Amino acid sequence: MQKYSSARPAQRAIQKAWAAFDAGNYTGAIEAADLASRLGGDVPEIAYLKCSAMSRLGQDEAAMSLALATQARYPNNPSLAGLVGLLEHKKWNFTAAVPLLKRGLEGMPRSAVLWQAYTGALVGLEDHHAARVACEQALKILPNDENITINYASALRSCGDIETALTYYRRGQVLAPDNKINGSNMLLALLSDPDADAATLRKEAEKFAAVLARTAESPGPSAAPVGNDAPRVRLGILSADFRRHACVYFLIPLIANIDRNAFEVVLFSLNPKPDTFTDQIRQYADTFIDVADRPEPEVVRTLRDAQVDVMIDLGGYTGISPLSFMVHRLAPTQITWLGYPGTTGMKEIDYRITDWASDPDGFDDHYTEKLLRAPIFCAYHAQVTHPLLAYEPAYRVQQAPALTNGYITFGSCNSIGKLTASSFRLWSAVLARCPGSKLLIEAAGLGVTETRERMEGRLRAHGIDTDRVIFVPREGKNQYLTYHRIDIALDTSPYTGGTTTCDALWMGVPVVTLAGNAFHQRISVPFLNAVELDALVCEDEASYVDTACALASDVMQLDALRQSLRQRTERSRMSDAQGFAAWFEETVYHLVSERKGLPAKPPAREEGIFFGGKWYATKDLVLSLAAHLHTGDHESVRNILGNLSSTWYRHWIVCYGLAVVKYREGFPDEAIDLLVEAIGQRPYSLPLYRQLAAWLDECALDKTALAGLLGEQFGLTLEALEASPVATSFEIFGIEVEHVADEDNALEALA
């Protein structure tokens, strides 16, 4: 808004209000604005000023109410549209904010705050092309604006133009040396720079950690981070990613399996935009504390007052970084894990969780932290927030698409920011060696014509015929289904896949990766090792191309590998959440037990899961499941099976329980498939075979294969099996019927 200077009383009051606002006296600005209103001043300008001041004071709801009311009176006023857009932007409602901010810029084309919010919202929406174009427009008007410069760098990084992005991040450092967003984003961009080795990453991280230390706001009086004298280890996890985010597929398997006899889990959320994933994650916490959108000193005081023994950084230098707060030393022991594939460079972070495949001997100097090496640095569960979907027919591994298509489809489902010149150079060589093959690229933004055309230009520049490329815009519902169209996944370089590698392997798609000399260049390695695909881990570009082409040369062998990968993945350490949790517990307990005066060993583990604020013993859950199957309460059965899946990933009891529900709901084919899967996991359970025989009879299906299996497995005839009655769920689970005399208690757990 234009600032007026006039001798008239109303205008003098407005001028006084702007002066107070510019001086940071927002209360004074509101008082002067109210005076201007009483004196008959310009209503839109007064509302703009007052709402802006209210927002700075954290009175966002009141500011939005006033802004909307004023906009309703003056619907054609662009500044008011921009004001509402700014308030929507502050709430992270980027979709709503963009058209309002654009309208505001029509009336205020030189407004730095509107350009900053507009370009930032487009970056947040991953509208890569629009963000880049808007930033270029804004920089013509405001060439030295630090925030627009940083947004432009982020837009370029999201478009895969890493070299130019780094140029603008470095310009951002010149314009604003202490800007935390710029420093964090530049470290993230360096991961995709082929010239940035581990030593460079450490050097840059240490420089930025020094900025965080120098600019940290004093929290004022607060409790010293000394932990507590409780008999359990109080574990804190700080993150802005308790939402729909890749970390969820690794976080829930851990916190659902942590033994609550020895640990208390406290989640501290920096996430300003909760979603259904947030609700799911919350169920696995003893305590969930929301500290989003609060001033740094207040967050630090809250976290210190929680008196956790160990604080885990789950974000590193991504998004709203936990490290901006952990630089204050929030707990006696601080650990970084999962969120960022490099060193924090921060002396306040004591340890980093990794493994020997990602960080082999000789890598310790890459880090300022001491390395804690696990058998594998995390455990992955597909469909972790909707675990029963993993059993649905749509997600079963299908035959290799090459058997139908007549050609090999290579593929990548990584973000555009990872699709660097290094990746395209490798893929071009693979396609050149495999005539007739195609390349499928799935990524956010490819549904936008300009983004796709820009991608096509980059591919052609590396000798890739775009007629051989299949572009697939990313949709959340297709996270796994796209892999039905891919024969072989080609990993990105230098920044490799993580969650996408796990997704591919679970869907039966082998991944060829180029392993470099830093963690972020080796993220796929431990997962490929876990499923015994070490041969797909390549040490140089030539072997990467050779390996991909060798896989493509024998489609029948490729399909056989595909059909084995689901089982390999689910039975490997990469899906062993209980195993990873046990390592985590032992390691963390050892770090704090001496200081807390705890016994040398933690108490014996109790089998069960934690959910919804309560620990459920395994035996009680199984009893409850049998009771609900007996009474036909299918909703409760699904509840229990979903919760059991957090611990028992792909367990025979889950297969059996879901099979019974499917059969009763009129899906016999799916039910029989699930029961066969349960038998495959528990091959010596005759009651399961008896149930299968009964269903085959009821569906008038052939039992010859079952008869042969019985003879081979047990030396038993089908007639002998069918002479016994069909077992109840209690009997199949090995539960004596008299144990459920009290039906109310039997039905209590997770009802």
**Shared domain check, 393 and 367:** no
Asked if the bond preceding 494 is cis, omega within 30° of 0, the reply is: yes
**Shared domain check, 734 and 664:** yes
- Residue 606 — pLDDT band, cuts 50, 70, 90? confident
Is residue 700 domain-resident?
A: yes
DSSP notation for 22-67: HTT-HHHHHHHHHHHHHTT--HHHHHHHHHHHHHHTT-HHHHHHHH
Residue 745 confidence (pLDDT) above 50: no
| 3-state secondary structure labels for all residues of 568-619 | HHHHCHHHCHHHHHHHHHHHHHHHHHHHHCCCCCCCCCCCEEEECCEEEEHH
Cα–Cα distance measured from residue 557 to residue 372, given in angstroms and rounded to the nearest whole number: 38
Cα–Cα distance measured from residue 262 to residue 589, given in angstroms and rounded to the nearest whole number: 8
For residue 525 the two structure tokens come to 């390695």
**Shared domain check, 404 and 527:** yes
The stretch 283-308 carries a mean pLDDT of: 96
Helix, strand, or coil (residue 446): coil
Residue 742 confidence (pLDDT) above 50: no
Is residue 1 domain-resident?
A: no
**CATH number reported for the structural domain that contains residue 428 in this entry:** 3.40.50.2000
Is residue 3 domain-resident?
A: no
AA identity, residue 148: I
Give residue for tokens 């885990």.
312
Distances (CA, A) of 6 to 3, 13, 373, 533: 10, 10, 69, 76
**Shared domain check, 469 and 366:** no
**CATH number reported for the structural domain that contains residue 110 in this entry:** 1.25.40.10
Is residue 620 domain-resident?
A: yes
Q: Are 343 and 352 within 8 A, CB to CB?
A: yes
**Shared domain check, 734 and 618:** yes
**CATH number reported for the structural domain that contains residue 313 in this entry:** 3.40.50.11380
Mean per-residue pLDDT over the chain, rounded? 94
Based on the number of CB atoms within 10 Å of its own CB, is 737 exposed (0-12), middle (13-18) or buried (19 or more)?
exposed
Please state the φ and ψ torsions of residue 289, each to the nearest 5 degrees.
Answer: -120, 120
Residue 595 confidence (pLDDT) above 90: no
**Shared domain check, 99 and 53:** yes
Is residue 591 domain-resident?
A: no
CA gyration radius for the chain? Answer: 29
Residues 6+ apart with CB under 8 A from 4: 11, 14, 15, 42, 45
State the total domains in the chain: 4
What residues pair up with 608 in beta bridges, in sequence order?
617
**Shared domain check, 414 and 369:** no
pLDDT at 644: 87
**Shared domain check, 288 and 263:** yes
The domain boundary, picked from 374, 407, 436, lies at 374
Which is nearest to 40 in space by CA: 64, 14, 63?
Answer: 14
Which is nearest to 521 in space by CA: 489, 490, 491, 494?
Answer: 494
The stretch 311-337 carries a mean pLDDT of: 97
pLDDT at 356: 98
| Percent of the chain with pLDDT strictly greater than 90 | 87
Which is nearest to 19 in space by CA: 39, 44, 36?
Answer: 36
Least confident segment among 448-452, 610-614, 629-633, 668-672: 610-614
Helix, strand, or coil (residue 410): strand
Q: Are 262 and 291 within 8 A, CB to CB?
A: no
Q: Are 491 and 501 within 8 A, CB to CB?
A: yes
Helix, strand, or coil (residue 375): coil
Element (H, E) at 352: strand 351-355
pLDDT at 222: 66
Is residue 270 domain-resident?
A: yes
Is residue 370 domain-resident?
A: yes
Is residue 601 domain-resident?
A: no
Q: Quick: pLDDT tens for 71-115.
A: 999 999 999 999 999 999 999 999 999 999 999 999 999 999 999
The domain boundary, picked from 314, 344, 374, lies at 374
Q: Quick: pLDDT tens for 25-56.
A: 999 999 999 999 999 888 999 999 999 999 99
What residues pair up with 334 in beta bridges, in sequence order?
311
Residues 6+ apart with CB under 8 A from 376: 355, 357, 526, 527, 530, 573, 574, 580
**Shared domain check, 394 and 369:** no
**Shared domain check, 399 and 319:** no
Q: Are 459 and 473 within 8 A, CB to CB?
A: no
Helix, strand, or coil (residue 247): coil
Q: Quick: pLDDT tens for 367-386.
A: 999 999 999 999 999 999 89
Residue, of 686 and 747, whose pLDDT is higher: 686
Cα–Cα distance measured from residue 326 to residue 306, given in angstroms and rounded to the nearest whole number: 14
Q: Are 281 and 172 within 8 A, CB to CB?
A: no
Which is nearest to 290 in space by CA: 231, 243, 221, 227?
Answer: 243
Residue 10 confidence (pLDDT) above 80: yes
pLDDT at 656: 98
DSSP 8-state assignment for residue 239: E
Residue 516 confidence (pLDDT) above 70: yes
Q: Domain containing 286: what range?
A: 233-374
Element (H, E) at 279: helix 276-282
pLDDT at 747: 40
The domain boundary, picked from 374, 406, 439, lies at 374
Based on the number of CB atoms within 10 Å of its own CB, is 72 exposed (0-12), middle (13-18) or buried (19 or more)?
exposed
Residue 1 confidence (pLDDT) above 80: no
- Residue 469 — pLDDT band, cuts 50, 70, 90? very high
**Shared domain check, 429 and 340:** no
pLDDT at 226: 66
**Shared domain check, 449 and 408:** yes
Q: Are 629 and 623 within 8 A, CB to CB?
A: no
Q: Is the pTM of this model over 0.85?
A: yes
pLDDT at 544: 99
